[in-house]
Amino acid sequence: MKLDVAGIRRQFPILSAVIDGQPVHYLDNGASAQTPDAVLDAVRTYETTGRANVLRGVHRLAERATEAYEKAREEVAAFLGVMPMEVVFTGGCTAAINLVAYSHGSLLKSGDRIILSELEHHSNIVPWQLLRARSGIEIDVIPVTLDGRIDLEILPRLLTARTRLISLAHVSNVTGALLDVRAVVAAAKTVGARVMLDGAQYAPHGPVDVPGLGVDFYVFAGHKAYGPNGIGVLWARPELLEAMPPFHGGGSMIGRVTFAETTWAPPPRRFEAGTPPIGPAIGLGAACAWMRRLDWPGVHAHEMALVQRLMDGLQEIDGTHILGPASLQNRYPVVSFMLDGVHPHDVAQTLDSFGVAVRAGHHCAQPLMDRFDLDGTTRVSMAPYNDNSDIDALLTGVKHAARTLR
């Protein structure tokens, strides 16, 4: 049965809006996806019928809020295929990576090594550099191939007996390249290293079989996965969470506090100090439930058809170059391109005049831009609600930029 894209679009109020006289062709999903009615309704219900703090209160609103908050954890766990108590709510994907870098990182010693790649988002680079400054760990970097993939043939040469962690993007936020996770996990096991995946660009495209991946840490962001801002997720193996000290101190993450000493609550509470982002967490739970109801084989086929339509159209425009895989194999619906003689920001502003929203610049991936000697790219990132009209509007805008800006 054909995917009902129109039915999906109707669930996103902003997609039927007219902004400054223009229809909305939203193709900046890699930065933030739009939010469906199911998520808006869940947050509205909490804010209007159950707003209270969680865990501490005994009145009915507090109990209602706590029940909704923990139900959200269950929904996220179901989306990842894991147990609820293995799910830690954070302030975002960046916060989740920082938690691992600080807390798990505190267990590492000077001379221990972490492996990253050239195509990582800054959020998966800077926290490890901060750890290096604190503790003296070393960072090794896997290069990127000409088609924008992590060069896993180099990985075995970087592994040593001191390699403790490999932290990589599940899907590149610039090239759309899908990581061969199985190969990374197999390589890591040869030296007993842990593996963490940045799932920010993967999670919005369907439920994640975390146990099947065989990794040790997994993180993703709510706002890229059709949920609210200010919420993210860390999943880690239970034994790793148990071994990790807290990242933040405060209420809710303690067992007993005296001036002599404090004991910690078990995970995930240990890592959720203070009042958590309750409404955003409830919204993310609703987003995960919404995503689980979609026909993902149909969605993936639809998204890849859009990618092919986009790449075919770009290749017909003189002076355009795509950064990343040239085929649909092992790639996700993120496409970055350059237009000869035109700065990416100018391309994006031209597209905006056609009602098309894209991202332009270095995409928080400056080492990758340095690898290809680029100032930046124009990035198109798609979601289940995008359709041919969005791609065609973009191509019309790029053709206009090619005619008028060179």
Q: What is the CATH number of the domain that holds 334?
A: 3.90.1150.10
Structure tokens at 38: 């199911």
CATH number for the domain spanning 139: value is 3.40.640.10
Angstrom distance (rounded) from CA 359 to CA 394:
12
Residue 138's domain spans which residues? 40-292
| Full-model pTM | 0.97
**129, pLDDT greater than 90:** yes
Q: Are residues 340 and 308 in the same domain?
A: yes
For residue 57, name the pLDDT band (cuts at 50, 70, 90): confident
For the chain, how far is it from start to end, CA to CA, in angstroms?
45
- 21-25, 72-76, 183-187, 317-321: the lowest-pLDDT one: 21-25
Q: Are residues 13 and 54 in the same domain?
A: no
- The SS3 call for residue 144 is strand
Catalytic residue among 5, 364, 374, 405: 364
Contacts for 71-74 with beta carbons within 8 Å, 24 or more apart? 71/282, 71/285, 72/281, 72/282, 72/283, 72/284, 72/285, 72/286, 73/268, 73/281, 73/285, 74/285
- Kindly state the percentage of the chain with pLDDT values over 70: 100
Q: pLDDT tens-digit profile of 382-395?
A: 999 999 999 999 99
pLDDT band for 134, please (50, 70, 90 cuts): very high
| CB-based contact 188:166 (threshold 8 Å) | yes
pLDDT at 19: 87
Is 279 within a domain? yes
Residues 6+ apart with CB under 8 A from 189: none
Q: Does 199 lie in the same domain as 117?
A: yes
Helix %, strand %, coil % of the chain (to 5):
40, 20, 40
Domain assignment of residue 187, yes or no: yes
Residue 288 bears catalytic tag: no
Single out the residue in 273, 292, 311 at which a domain terminates: 292
Same domain, 195 and 87: yes
In the prediction, which pLDDT does 98 show?
98
Residue with the larger pLDDT of the pair 20 and 359: 359
**270, 292, 314 — which closes off a domain?**
292
* Domain finish residue from 261, 292, 323: 292
Query: Going by C-beta distance under 8 Å and a sequence separation of 6 or more, which residues neighbour residue 152?
Result: 142, 180, 183, 184, 187
Sorted by sequence, the CB contacts under 8 Å of residue 300 that are 6+ apart come out as: 205, 206
